[in-house]
Amino acid sequence: MKKFLYLFFVILFTSVSAQEKKEFQLSSHILDITVGQPVEKVDVQLEKFDETTKQWVSLGKKQTDKNGRIADFLPYSKDLKSNYGKYKLIFLTEDYFKNKKVESFYPFIEVVFQIKDDKHYHVPITLSPFGYSTYRGS
**29 in a known ligand binding site:** yes
Closest CA to 127 of 28, 27, 63, 33: 33
Rg over alpha carbons for the chain, rounded to the nearest Å, is: 19
Cite the beta strand spans of 1-138 per DSSP E.
Answer: 24-32, 37-38, 43-50, 55-63, 69-75, 85-91, 109-115, 121-122, 125-128, 131-134
Q: How many CB atoms lie within 10 A of CB 94?
A: 13
**69 in a known ligand binding site:** yes
Say how far apart CA 87 and CA 93 lie, in whole Å: 19
Partner residues linked to 28 by β-bridges: 70
Which residues belong to the annotated binding site?
A: 29, 69, 135
In the annotated binding site for substrate, the residues are 29, 69, 135
